[in-house]
């Protein structure tokens, strides 16, 4: 889940909504697994230029510290993630969001065949970035490949090249559908989102309708009057049922959410040359 907008208390994002992320961690309706109990993480922008992250290997629904911090943390840009491991170890360094400098990254899905392709993918990472790898997941590797290909300059291009490489390496190892992903990444101001899978059947991803339009549609819903005009949510599953509130990101597309003008476009991997 990614929030951007007026500074808001994290507990209003994590614990208040009807079908909140914490509920989803116990009973996902749309995810590949129904329980996301293999750790969680939050990332946010506050003091200083770089974001902070709080991650734990406990299930999110049990973590007392998460509740305490969520009640104290006010931020205009908030990432939250619950993890269902696809095979790599349940340890803090494998929890999302991942951070590099000013950037945060989170990924749902999997790089299939990663056990076999991991070495080739890791050696494709810029040697200057390599020492900062902390965990053992496919998701962090994909992040570092995107950084290698210029994420901080042109996110659309960099992710397209990273995905293209993963597909290329995957096929060389005989993997049928190497990439399954929804991704959100941010520099603290804009949030880029991606929905793509090699087989064209990606996990769900939604973004919220502009608050002004929602207020017109549902003048009786109090929370809409508390949220600022630039509020935008990107989620794997709608937080609450509200007709017109949630727009599915189309298959094979990418977008950027930012104050002012959002943008959605087609996404196509760029194979290595």
DSSP designation for 203 = P
Q: How many CB atoms lie within 10 A of CB 131?
A: 7
Residue 148 vs 202, nearer CB to a second copy? 148
Q: Is 273 in the site for a second copy (CB under 8 A)?
A: no
Residues 102-131 that bind a second copy (CB under 8 A): 115-116, 118-119, 122-123, 127, 130-131
Closest distance to a second copy from the beta carbon of 192 (Å): 23
Q: Does 77 bind a second copy (CB under 8 A)?
A: no
Find the binder of a second copy among 17, 59, 97, 109 (CB under 8 A): 59
Whether the ω angle into residue 97 lies within 30 degrees of 0, i.e. cis, is yes
Token pair in block for residue 234: 């990107």
Inter-residue contact 182 to 107 (CB < 8 Å) = yes
29: contact with a second copy by CB under 8 A:
no
Instruction: Please classify residue 58 by burial: count the beta carbons closer than 10 Å to its beta carbon, then call 0-12 exposed, 13-18 middle and 19+ buried.
Output: middle
Per the structure block, which two tokens stand in for 258? 């930012």
Cα–Cα distances (Å) from 131 to 126, 128, 134, 152, 184, in that order, read: 10, 7, 8, 18, 23
Residue 35 or 252 having the CB closest to a second copy: 35
> Which alpha helices (DSSP H) does 71-154 contain, by range?
114-123, 138-148
Question: Is residue 175 close enough to count as binding a second copy by CB under 8 A?
Answer: no
Question: Least distance in Å: CB of 23 to a second copy?
Answer: 11
- We find the least distance from the C-beta atom of residue 115 to a second copy, in angstroms, to be 5
Q: How far is the CB of 197 from a second copy (least distance, A)?
A: 23
Q: Pick one of 27, 29, 240, 265: the residue that binds a second copy (CB under 8 A).
A: 27
Asked if residue 8 binds a second copy (CB under 8 A), the reply is: no
Contact between 7 and a second copy per CB under 8 A = no
Give the CA dihedral 89, 94, 95, 101, nearest 10 degrees: 180
Contact letters (x/-) for a second copy, 36-55, by CB under 8 A? -xx-----x-xxx---xxxx
User: Taking a C-beta distance cutoff of 8 angstroms, is the pair 116, 173 a contact?
Assistant: yes
In the complex, the smallest distance separating the C-beta of residue 170 from a second copy, rounded to whole angstroms, is: 14
What phi and psi values does residue 78 have, to the nearest 5 degrees? Answer: -135, 130
Residues that bind a second copy (CB under 8 A): 9, 26-27, 34-35, 37-38, 44, 46-48, 52-59, 61-62, 64-65, 68-69, 71-74, 85, 89-93, 115-116, 118-119, 122-123, 127, 130-131, 133-136
């Amino acid at each position: 889940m990614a929030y951007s907008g007026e500074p808001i208390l994290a507990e209003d994002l994590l614990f208040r909504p009807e079908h909140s992320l914490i509920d989803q961690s116990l009973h996902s309706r749309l995810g590949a697994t129904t329980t996301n109990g293999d750790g969680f993480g939050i990332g946010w922008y506050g003091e200083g230029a770089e974001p902070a992250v709080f991650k734990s290997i406990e299930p999110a629904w049990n973590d007392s510290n998460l509740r305490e911090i969520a009640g104290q943390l006010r931020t205009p840009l908030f990432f939250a993630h619950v993890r269902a491991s696809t095979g790599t170890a349940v340890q803090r360094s494998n929890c999302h969001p991942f951070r590099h400098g000013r950037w945060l990254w989170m990924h749902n899905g999997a790089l299939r065949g990663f056990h076999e392709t991991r070495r080739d993918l890791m050696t494709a990472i810029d040697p200057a970035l390599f020492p900062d790898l902390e965990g053992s997941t496919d998701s962090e590797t994909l992040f570092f490949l995107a950084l290698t290909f210029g994420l901080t300059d042109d996110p659309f291009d960099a992710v397209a090249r990273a995905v293209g490489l993963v597909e290329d390496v995957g096929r060389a190892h005989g993997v049928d559908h190497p990439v399954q992903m929804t991704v959100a990444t941010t520099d603290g101001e804009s949030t880029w989102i991606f929905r793509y899978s090699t087989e064209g059947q990606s996990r769900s991803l939604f973004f919220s309708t502009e608050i002004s339009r929602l207020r017109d549609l549902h003048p009786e819903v109090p929370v809409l009057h508390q949220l600022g005009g630039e509020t935008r949510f990107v989620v794997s599953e709608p937080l609450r049922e509200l007709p017109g509130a949630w727009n599915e990101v189309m298959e094979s597309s990418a977008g950027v959410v930012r104050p002012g003008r959002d943008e959605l476009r087609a996404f196509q991997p760029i194979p290595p040359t």
